[in-house]
Amino acid sequence: MFSREGRSDAEPSSAIIADPPPRAPAALDYVSSIRLLQPVNSRRIGFPCVHHVNHHRDGDPKLAPVRPATDLPHYRFFLHAFTTDHVLNNSPIIPKDFSAQQPKTIRLYPLSNYTFGTKETQPEEDPSVLARLKRLEEHYDLHGMRRTCEGVLVCHEHNHPHVLMLQIANAFFKLPGDYLNFEDDEVEGFKKRLNERLAPVGSQFSGEGVNEDWEIGDTLAQWWRPNFETFMYPFLPGHVTRPKECKKLYFIQLPKKKVLSVPKNMKLLAVPLFELYDNTARYGPQLSAIPHLLSRYNFEFVDENDNVVAATPGTPLPDHQIPRTKVLAGDSGDGQDEGMTDYPSGEGENGASA
């Protein structure tokens, strides 16, 4: 037979040792004894048949006895009372306003609000990086420093910001936009470049958001190309007085609905910020810095009906709109957003735009 002090001669050391029925100690002794229990494969709190190991009493965990699969009413009552009191008395404290000296809160619409299509292939102007640098040199000789504009288009999925970007030939990524023609105005020329990349052609689509104009927002960053080479820097080196190219990144405020059409030789991806962050190996230094650039903004996330479902903590909330988490799966209306655990990881070759 088994005892509390050791094992029988007929059974190996891993045998389960049964405890005697629990006694009902005084209140303080009982609380102290509960703290000595360490759960092993416990099910949800408050359920019967909870197995525990008492390491304090038995020392070696490998030889520690396990409580039998019996219902312990006083133990379940204590856990239920403790957890209920903890939930009721430990609700989150809403912080005071913490949005001073910050830009206006940005409203992000869900990815499902937007319609995506394809259009004719747009081949790259240069077959190689060397050819691109050669054309840059020719442009500089004729018109001086090249001006390049790219847009950071942001929507949300699972209440998390996603950046729309292009993937070319399954090899490298870039933001929508391109260099401006010499005679073009900065903003109008940039809108023309965005239309070339993403606007639908002719009567391909109809309805709300087809001919919506682009809303060019803040300049998020400037990247400088000091020489005719691939390296660009977020600052202008002190010894450089004649940079060859300046690339500006703008925040593009997407409207509630919009139709976007992508060339057939490209893919339009919605990349979450956590995927971009500190991921220079896949996206390069410019794109992986976007989470830093967007950190200055507070966001509010709305659903298809313009109801605020989430917001940056510390931001004043709109009247009569309490943020709630959208149920993503299941029949229950009380579900919680499980975050991005179901978001598939990116595939394809690593790469980044020059």
DSSP 170: T
Instruction: Report the pLDDT averaged over residues 19-43.
Output: 47
pLDDT tens digits, one per residue of 234-260 = 999 999 999 999 999 999 999 999 999
- pLDDT value of position 352: 52
- pLDDT value of position 338: 39
- pLDDT value of position 323: 41
Per-residue confidence band for 320, with pLDDT thresholds at 50, 70 and 90: low
Residue 101 vs residues 98, 153, 250: alpha-carbon distances, Å: 9, 24, 20
Q: Measure the CA–CA gap between 65 and 54, rounded to whole angstroms.
A: 7
Kindly report whether the global pTM for this prediction surpasses the value 0.85. no
Please tell me the least confidently modeled range out of 13-27, 238-252, 331-345: 331-345
pLDDT tens digits, one per residue of 272-310 = 999 999 999 999 999 999 999 999 999 999 999 999 998
Between residues 50 and 132, which one has the greater pLDDT?
A: 132
> Contacts from 272-279 at CB under 8 Å and sequence distance 24+?
272/157, 272/160, 272/161, 272/162, 272/163, 272/340, 272/343, 273/160, 273/161, 273/162, 273/163, 274/160, 274/340, 275/346, 276/163
Site of tokens 């709300």: 208
Q: Which of 296, 262, 285 is nearest to 176 (CA)?
A: 262
Q: What does the block give as tokens for 325? A: 């988490």
- pLDDT value of position 97: 79
**206 Cβ neighbours under 8 A, 6+ residues apart:** none
Helix (H) or strand (E) holding 187: helix 186-198
**172 Cβ neighbours under 8 A, 6+ residues apart:** 284, 351, 352, 353
Domain ranges of the chain: 1-91, 106-311
> Which CATH superfamily, name and number, covers 106-311?
Nucleoside Triphosphate Pyrophosphohydrolase (3.90.79.10)
pLDDT tens digits, one per residue of 50-103 = 444 444 444 555 554 455 555 555 555 555 555 555 555 666 777 777 878 989
Q: What does the block give as tokens for 194? A: 């965005």
Instruction: Report the pLDDT averaged over residues 219-232.
Output: 96
Helix (H) or strand (E) holding 194: helix 186-198
312 SS3 class = coil
- pLDDT value of position 11: 46
